[in-house]
Structure 1
Amino acid sequence: MTIQLTTDSGADVPKHLQEAWDIKVVSLFVRFGEEQYKSEDITTKDFLERVSTGKVFPQSAAPSPQDYYDTFKAIDPAKPIIHISLSSGVSASYNHAVMAKTQLLEEEPNRDIYLIDTKSASSGMILMLDDAIQMIEQNMSAEDIALHLERRVPYLRTVFLLETIDNLIRGGRLSRAKGAIAKTLNVKLILHASEEGKIDVLEKVRGAKKAHRRFHDLIGEYIKDPAEKVFVMTHGYAKEKCDDVLDKVRERYAFKDVYQAETGPVIAAHAGKGALVMSFFSDLTHQEKH
């Protein structure tokens, strides 16, 4: 391709799409105490098993500015770079990419590097990458593609349905007192990536069946005509569950394309096993919706 797409492993792009789209992925890290792994070096299955049986709750870490610098530097200088980043609201990844870009441009000022803060994660980043691919295939310039993607960010919706809130509690993102109340009342949390790119509670629903129905209903509240839109769903080591939900989504909403992937360890550390993460472009921005 005439343009090089890069991203970080918070995107959860499956290997076949990495190859088909020629994407270079900069790895985030997960730590169990003093042990650190690149997110690509541990499977989600093994990671979740270790979380459930271990006493040490893992921490995630962004790639260093040097990691981004090395990735950008190795790309043919004649190729513009468009980098699709994990939300600056949940990770230092974007800021570290900015630092790497600044350093490289000091050395090679003729480089074209565009950084997109998606204000999202996982399925939302896959959706943005798909959007970029469509425009590359239309021979649009890197500058025009980057401008288009920036304009798309306010319309990007990323919604999480959690099977369990245990990881939120253990990771300190939800207090134990609130967690205990939610479990007692059988409350399921529907989270979303906010306008600022932070992961916030969107709704609290009593019972799993009601939560799943609400998860489906939300799509229709954001989109009138899905025929020209793409839908992406990632799952926390729960492919059968994801397949079932996607079947229901397809029956109800005629999306142009549907992608499915498994969340990597970084996203799974917070969302937990069985989580579903869906993304699509809304008809309205966050501000217009409210």
Structure 2
Amino acid sequence: MATRIITDSSVDFPEELLNELNVTVVPLNLLFGDEEYKAGVDLDTPTFYQKLKKSKELPKSSAPSPQDFLTKFEETSPEDDILVVALSEALSSTYDNAVLAKKMFHEEHPDRNIEVINSKTASSGLGIIVYHAAEMARDGHSFNDIVEQAHEYTEDTLTMFLLDTLENVIKGGRLDRVRGTIASALNIKLLMKASDDDGSLEVLDKIRGNKRAIRQFIQKIGDYGHNLEDKVIAVAHSNCEDKARALIDQIQERYPFKQVILSTMGPLIGTYAGEGGLLVSFKKN
């Protein structure tokens, strides 16, 4: 008996790692005007950023349907247990739809073990939780132990990001246009995180100037993190790989993480962050 790990395409993590660990990814839907895509299926990340540059309006995303999840559940082996780790309930109905799919699945398969977890995060934060659970599954740990560890990681994973531009948060109506224009003129950078309570996005700081913002971003890692030599840190970027690699160099000079994983932000967080955004995720304790 094995444990199958299922997540959604808001996970920003290297595809080869997810494939190697046999993680199933259920795609979110993305709407560019009248054009509808399934993220990661018929719209890859480079094409997404090309379309984002050209689009006057931000794309809209929607959660996978309960049927999308149910289809993936039905594809698993009858002997498998199933763990779903879903995008924060505060950001999407993905988790709720996965729970509905679980109820539908149990009507036909009442003896199957299936757990759905609200990750309270997204992007590489979701990736950190999924990665640990998938490694445990690969190594033959029990379903109950994997679920317990996934819950622990959910409560203790920090996801923090730095916006280089405010253009998309203004376009998306999350920041008043007048205030946003003034902040942009003053070269203000927003430092944000997923809240500990429900995974909604909250502003940690507003910092003037790129160099100061990067210094503060790196400092916050030390403020939140403990015993980092035992931890994996995931770094994601919004179409700015060189900038992300430079950030990784500075992080490694200062902190002894045992592993660094680099990925590109996909459509969900990439739309919010805009070009040049950076994100870090790691287990704090």
TM class, shorter-length: over 0.9
Q: Residues 3-61 of structure 1, C-alpha deviation per residue, up to 9 Å, x if partnerless? A: 11111000023221122111110000110122111111223332223222222321011
Matches within 5 A, 1:72-91: 72-91=73-92
**For structure 2, which runs of at least 5 residues remain unmatched after alignment?**
none
| Counterpart residue number, 1:273 | 275
What is the DSSP-based 3-state SS (H/G/I as helix, E as strand, rest coil) of the residue aligned with 2:212?
helix
The answer as to 2:65 corresponding to 1:56 is no
Query: Distance in 2 between the 1:190 and 1:134 partners?
Result: 31
The SS at the match of 1:11 is coil
Q: Which residue of 2 aligns with 1:288?
A: none
Within-5 A mapping of 1:39-50: 39-40=39-40, 41-50=42-51
Partner residue in 2 for 1:201: 203
For the residue of structure 1 that corresponds to 2:51, the secondary structure is helix
- Give the root-mean-square deviation of aligned CA atoms: 1.4
- Residue pair 2:4, 2:137 contacting (<8 A) in 1 also: no
Deviation at 1:136? Answer: 2.5
> What's the CA shift for 1:103?
0.5
Q: Which residue of 2 aligns with 1:231?
A: 233
Q: Is the 8 A contact 2:21 2:135 kept in 1?
A: no
2-structure distance, mates of 1:236, 1:13: 13
TM-score (normalised: structure 1): 0.93
| Distance in structure 1 (CA, Å) of the matches to 2:98 and 2:272 | 23
**Residue of structure 1 equivalent to 2:12:** 12
Q: Report the residue type matching 1:4 in the other structure.
A: R
Shift of the alpha carbon at 1:169?
1.1
Counterpart residue number, 2:186: 185
- Deviation of the 1:124 alpha carbon: 0.4
Please state whether the residue corresponding to 2:10 is helix, strand or coil: helix
Give the match for residue 106 of structure 2.
Answer: 105
Which residue number in structure 2 is paired with residue 121 of structure 1? 122
Encode CA deviations 1:186-231: one digit per residue, 9 max, x unaligned: 1100110002110111111111110000010001111232111111
Alpha-carbon distance in structure 2 between the residues aligned to 1:26 and 1:248: 34
The amino acid across from 1:24 in the alignment is T
Q: How does 1:208-227 map to 2 (within 5 A)?
A: 208-227=210-229
Alpha-carbon shift at residue 177 of structure 1 (Å):
2.3
Aligned 8 A contact 1:234 1:278 in 2:
yes
Matches of 1:36 and 1:215 in 2, distance apart?
A: 35
**Cα distance in structure 1, aligned partners of 2:176 and 2:143:** 44
1:130-209 pair list within 5 angstroms:
130-195=131-196, 196-209=198-211
| SS state at 2:272 partner | helix
Matched length: 283
CA contact (8 A) 2:95 2:118 kept: yes
Stretches of 4+ aligned residues off by more than 4 angstroms:
none
Question: CA–CA distance in 1 between the matches of 2:173 and 2:49?
Answer: 17
Change (3 A) 1:10 1:246: same
Distance in 2 of aligned mates of 1:131 and 1:224: 18
CA distance in 2 between counterparts of 1:18 and 1:148 reads: 18
Contact 1:62–1:91 (8 Å) recurs in 2: yes
Q: 3-state DSSP class of the match of 1:279? A: strand
Q: Is the 8 A contact 1:48 1:272 kept in 2?
A: no
Q: Which stretch of structure 1 is more off in the superposition, 63-72 or 219-228?
A: 219-228
Conservation of the 8 A alpha-carbon contact between 1:87 and 1:117: yes
Structure 1 residues 57, 138: closer, same or farther in 2, change over 3 A?
closer
Percentage identity across paired residues of the two chains = 38
User: TM-score w.r.t. structure 2 length?
Assistant: 0.95
The CA distance in 2 between the partners of 1:256 and 1:134, in whole Å, is 15
